[in-house]
Structure 1
Amino acid sequence: MGVQHHKMFIGGEWRDAADAYEIRNPANEELVATVAKGGADDVDAAVAAARAAFRSGCWSGLTGDERRAVMLRIAEGVSENLEELIELEIAANGATVRQAGGFHIGLAAPHMTYFAELAAKHEVERGIATAPYPTISHNILRREPIGVCAGILPWNFPLVLSLWKIGPALAAGNTVVIKTDEKTPLSTLAFARIAHEAGLPAGVLNVITGDGEDVGARLASHPDVGKVAFTGSTAVGREIMRLASQTVKKVSLELGGKGAAVVLDDADLETVADAALFGCCLYSGQMCESITRLIVPDSIHDELVARIVARAATIKLGDPADYDTDLGPVISAEQHERILSYLQIGRDEGATVATGGGVPEGPGFEKGFWVQPTVFTDVTNDMRIAREEIFGPVLTVIRYSGDPAEGVAIANDSIYGLSAAVWSGDYERALEVAAKLEAGTVWVNDVHMVTPELPFGGYKQSGLGRELGPDALNEYSEVKHIHVDLSQRREARAYDMVLSDG
């Protein structure tokens, strides 16, 4: 069987382009597929299809219960195609089969189901009591769909993060244009097929592929797009804001992070050692909410580091399709070089490599983009490895005296505020620390726990707005106030404040 070519999905049909991308497996660099490389004209076609579908009322005109029924069929289709989606995800982004099954793909159907249920619960209209002065009136607040909503995706969790945009947008009655990352479009394109087969009307969901500088920029600035949601780096998020400001559209951004875990002196060290590695090494650290700064009291520092180093030695790197593999490759040669450059920066800054620090050797690692799980000690919070997002399996361990206030100050000394954690055997102490950490999500004695029922997003330069949670649809709707005068008589109205009888 030859290499399959994938087209874009626009207006309910598959659309090709004159140019194409190559999708290569990051574990062995073998060619997996080719994908249409779209341009600004394809963006215009997708937005036009979405706008026409919205105005037709084929989706926006349905009740919440009717949208729920279609979305539940889509979620069922995702479950039925789980193996295909896992294979596509592993081949494109290097996730291990366990990670893909548990996170990258395994979360997709439950998250879509959650948004489907929100569609039925969404309060579209409610009356608001007001004072009878200056006139007696009835007032209504309506939440109405925005229209065409755009989602611009990263490469690390392409399917789940697309559903964080698609799900609430559809539930609120909008139509959607998704721009996938050029490295990992396969699972999102497959989702478009699944949604179409489940009965989603043509034009309601459109998926385009292309370069960010061309396709992403056109989508973010397009005058007929009313909302743009972006997940990715803080630098690109700033550019998305600039482009969106040209037409003053709604924007939500989920950006970078440099998650800090404050370990208190009464924490269970065996558990913290496991959690620290899980926090920084899940999907080779290529997660915005990874915990990459471990802030440790002097009194337990040496013992905890020794436990982390010993545990890191048990992590198995290898073929992502092997169920026994713990850690796969990083996504690309570019990312590989970036991470290795930071490992050298850490050494140059005076940090100590406690374990890892390079590329694994031996059979299976001759090709592909591999990085060892790496732990730096002797790190201070002013070092670049402690301040900048590396996006790799790299943990920086920072000492502090043991005073929780000092640990909090170190954790908060960052431009980022996406995630944080506290580890302690005393929940009262842990909650006191958690309340002072500047982050959108703070875990107590846990990491990486993101569920659709709870909002997710960042403080500071980690983003704007929130995804997930019971209010997720608010990001994809406009609030309209309708005022109905009930006075019935001219003399009972407030006109005489401006107009006299004379």
Structure 2
Amino acid sequence: MASTSVRHHTMFIGGEDVDSGSAYEIRHPATDELVCTMAKGTVADADRAVASAREAFESGVWSGKSPAERQEIMQRIAARIGTDQDEFIAAEISCNGATVRQAAGFHVGMAGVHFDYFAQLAGSYEFERTIETDPVPTASTNTIRREPVGVCAAIVPWNFPLILGTWKIGPALAAGNSVVVKVDEKTPLSLLKLAHVAHEEGVPAGVFNLVSGDGPEVGARLASHPDVDKVAFTGSTAVGREIMRLASGTVKKVTLELGGKGPSIILDDADLDFAVDGVIFGCMLFSGQMCESGTRLLVPAELHDDIVARLVARVADLNVGDPNELATDLGPVISRRQRDRILAYIDGARAEGATIACGGGIPEGEEFQRGHWIAPTIITDITNDMPIAREEVFGPVLSVLSYSSLDEAVAIANDTEYGLSAGVWSRDTDRAAEVGRRLRAGTTWVNTWHAVDPRLPFGGYKQSGLGREIGLGALDEYTEAKHLHVDHTTDLGLATFALVLSTPRHG
């Protein structure tokens, strides 16, 4: 049961706080200190949440509201993310160790902007349109309706719970669906607060439910549940495959945003100072714990040593430390397990003959003996067949590879099972954009990284995912297309079925 010395949090189902018989301990990644406890949900809790969501959907308390009504309520929620920003930031930092600057700018700042975008989509989305058709063989009116799918399950990862949760909750609510959010057990607090805020601002009970629980049990139940109509998942490719398998039993709609191994290509004409800073930002932000991080750097062979020297010198300027301090650039990684996994990848690369140009272990200093820390690491003498270059490390680790021609650079960049992100650095943006067109990735940046806009789609090629989140078509993933055909023929002899049925013998 939960300790009485720290705050205990519960799930939110049907507009009510719901506890369970056991609890997770939430520990701060920087210090390993106990922050709070969280109810550990079960399959029964998932079933209760789905039943609540289904009842709310069928009742029409939300799905029956006009788009304008949903927009108004959602805009109030978006505004609360801004006014309650400090609470949301504290929730993110205490659970996942994000720095305060990053949490303000990305984790929470972007979440409010993106939720407001989905609110606006609720009012502007074309839920119904009439299609002009030929009057032959019969005159008719044909309407395309976009209707909510029903109950949507959102399975959210630990790294960006609020923003990635918003990408699923926002369009689901905008389209008129009910949602069941399954939070990661390490980072439940920001989405739990969002659930309460949504209820306070007018989202009816049962429309927004939040459960916790182990992924192989609660997450799997939501993915396979016969009363869940859509599942949206962000996480590893391995788990994404299992989500697809489980969802196939009821042929439900699926959106998957999975792993990545983003290639970052510096061209021979690049401004090296600018590119080096951009590459470090692309790889090291949030200690590399981002699926679309640029973790493979491809450099011209003749510039390799110069670029590596610049990278090492620049990384030495990074301030690694307390995520609550404004001066901090890099904080900890999420857990001891993740830290040890990253160290194993680094040790494996070293054993295969790679060179650790900087970092490669736990930073020096007494303050780093608690919590889960990895020094920003740059590794050279790598080939693209090594695990360090092919597998998602999810840490502050940059792998540097050389290329001798642009064709070789593109071939190396595309030689991966992933296709989430890529980037090109060059003074000639036209040339860089042409290289970008050859890269097999859902997002390709030129002279920047992590540039995500709610109006533009985000998702991956190959085993980096299925479908797209955000963007102009975000609500398409949360609606079903219905063709409504109204025939205006009144003369039985002119009706299309007269082609098969003979004229009646008796009037």
TM-score normalised by L of structure 1:
0.99
In the other structure, the counterpart of 2:119 is 116
| 8 Å CA contact retained: 2:320, 2:328 | yes
**1:316 pairs with 295, 298, 319, which one?**
319
Q: Which residue does 1:451 correspond to in 2? A: 453
Any conservation in 2 of the 1:77–1:195 contact (CA below 8 Å)? no
The Cα offsets for residues 20-53 of structure 1, whole Å up to 9 and x where unpaired, read as 0000001111000000000011011101111111
Partner of residue 251, structure 2: 248
Equivalent of 1:107 in 110, 114, 139: 110
Match of 2:497 in 1: 495
Residue matched to 1:194: 197
- Which of the numbers 401, 411, 414 marks the counterpart of 1:412? 414
Q: For 1:368, what is the secondary structure of its paired residue?
A: coil
Structure 1 residue 500: Cα displacement: 2.6
State the alpha-carbon separation in 2 of the partners of residues 364 and 288 from structure 1: 28
Partner of 1:374: 377
Deviations 1:397-446 (A, max 9, x none): 11001x22211111000000000001111112111101110000000000
> Alpha-carbon deviation of 1:122?
0.9
How far the C-alpha of 1:373 sits from its partner, in A, is: 0.5
How many angstroms does 1:216 deviate by? 0.2
Give the alignment partner of residue 353 of structure 1, picking from 351, 356, 371: 356
For 2:390 and 2:500, the matched residues in 1 are separated by: 60
Match of 1:425 in 2: 427
- Which of residues 274, 277, 281 is equivalent to 2:277? 274
Q: Does 1:76 align with 2:75?
A: no
Give the AA of the match of 1:491: G
Shift of 1:55: 1.0
**Which amino acid letter does the alignment assign opposite residue 312 of structure 2?**
V
Q: Which runs of 4+ in 1 moved over 3 A?
A: none
Corresponding residue SS for 1:288: coil
Root-mean-square deviation (CA), in Å? 1.0
Point out where structure 2 has 5 or more consecutive residues left out of the alignment.
none
Q: Which residue of the partner structure matches residue 29 of structure 1?
A: 32
Deviation track 1:186-223 (CA, whole Å, cap 9, x = no partner) reads 11101111111111111110010100011000001111
Say if 2:492 and 2:498, in contact at 8 Å, map to a contact too.
Answer: no
Question: 1:497: Cα distance to partner?
Answer: 2.8
2:58 corresponds to which letter in structure 1? R
Once the two structures are overlaid, the 10-residue window that deviates more, 357-366 or 162-171, is: 357-366
Distance 1:230 1:364 in 2: 35
Aligned partners of 2:344 and 2:113: how far apart in 1? 38
Matches within 5 A, 1:11-410: 11-401=14-404, 403-410=405-412
Contact map agreement 1:346 1:384 (CA 8 A) in 2 = yes
Measure, in 2, the Cα distance between the counterparts of 1:393 and 1:475: 33
SS at the partner of 1:127?
Answer: strand
Letter in 2 for 1:108: A
SS in 2 for 1:217: helix
Instruction: Please state whether the residue corresponding to 1:461 is helix, strand or coil.
Output: helix
Whole-angstrom distance in 2 between the partners of 1:144 and 1:495: 30
CA distance in 2, matches of 1:285, 1:330: 9
Please give the alpha-carbon distance, in whole angstroms, between the structure 1 residues aligned to 2:141 and 2:71: 31
Residue 474 of structure 1 and its aligned partner are, at CA, apart by: 0.4
**Residue 309 of structure 1 contacts residue 355 of structure 1 at CA under 8 Å; is this kept in 2?**
yes
Q: Take 2:430 and 2:218, find their aligned partners in 1: how far apart are those partners? A: 49
Q: CA deviation at 1:162?
A: 0.5
For 2:360 and 2:192, the matched residues in 1 are separated by 36
Residues paired across the two proteins, number: 501
User: How far has the Cα of 1:123 moved from its partner?
Assistant: 0.6
SS in 1 for 2:20: coil
1:490 is displaced (CA, Å) by: 1.1
1:379 aligned counterpart, secondary structure: coil
Q: Which amino acid aligns with 2:31?
A: N
Q: Gapped runs of 5+ residues in structure 1? A: none
% identical equivalent positions: 62
Residue 496 of structure 1 and its aligned partner are, at CA, apart by 3.1
Cα shift at 1:132: 2.3
Shift of 1:262: 1.3
Higher alpha-carbon deviation: 210-219 or 357-366: 357-366
Residue 499 (structure 1) shift: 2.1
- Once residues 129 and 117 of structure 2 are traced to their aligned partners in structure 1, the CA distance between those partners, rounded to angstroms, is 23
Query: Which amino acid in structure 1 is aligned with residue 285 of structure 2?
Result: L
Letter in 1 for 2:497: Y
